Amino acid sequence: MKKELLLLIAAALAASAGTAEAKETLSLSAGLGAGFTDNVLQYSDQQLADFEAGTKPNQFSIRTSDDMLWLPSLGLEYQNERPRGRATELTLRGSGEWHDKNATADWGALGATWRETFGRGRRLSVSAYRLPNYYLRQLWDDDFVPTYSGQGKYRRAEFALTIFGARWKQRLAEGLSADLGWQNESRVYNSDFRERDSRLNQGTVGIDWTKPKRVSFSADLGYENSRAEGSDGDDAGLAVPDDPDVSFHALLFGAGTRARLAQSARVKLDGDLSVEFEKRTYDSDRVADRYHRGRKDTRTTIDAGLRLGFRRHWSARAAVRHETNDAVLGASAPASADAGSFTENRGSLALEWTGDVWHRFRKRAAGNPAAR
Question: What's the domain count of the chain?
Answer: 1
Checking if the pLDDT of 290 tops 70, the result is yes
Q: Determine the pLDDT at residue 235.
A: 66
Residue 365 has pLDDT above 60, yes or no: no
Instruction: Supply the pTM of this predicted model.
Output: 0.89
Q: pLDDT tens, 211-267?
A: 877 899 999 999 999 999 998 877 666 666 778 999 999 999 999 999 999 999 899
**Which one has a higher pLDDT value, 362 or 23?**
23
- In the prediction, which pLDDT does 311 show? 87
Burial 199-227 (b: 16+ CB within 10 A, else e): bbebebebebeeeeeeebebebebebebb
Lowest mean pLDDT of 10-14, 98-102, 125-129, 218-222, name the range. 10-14
Work out the average pLDDT over 283-302. Answer: 95
Range of the domain at 204: 2-371
Number of H helices, E strands in the chain: 2, 14
Q: Read off the pLDDT of residues 179-195 as tens digits, 9 standing for 90 and up.
A: 999 999 999 999 999 99
What is the number of other CB atoms lying within 10 angstroms of the CB of residue 117? 18
Q: What percent of the chain has pLDDT over 90?
A: 78
115, containing H or E segment: strand 107-119
What's the pLDDT band for 84 if we cut at 50, 70, 90?
Answer: confident
Q: Which residues are within 8 A (CB) of 335 and not within 5 positions of it... i.e. 6 or more apart?
A: none
CATH number reported for the structural domain that contains residue 226 in this entry: 2.40.160.40
Average per-residue pLDDT in the chain? 91
Residue 82: HSE in the Cβ half-sphere, 13 Å Cα cutoff: 17
Grouping H, G, I as helix, E, B as strand and the rest as coil, residue 195 is: helix
Q: For residue 278, is pLDDT > 90?
A: yes
Average pLDDT over residues 90-112: 98
- Altogether, the residues listed in the chain come to a count of 372
Looking at residue 236, its pLDDT comes to: 60
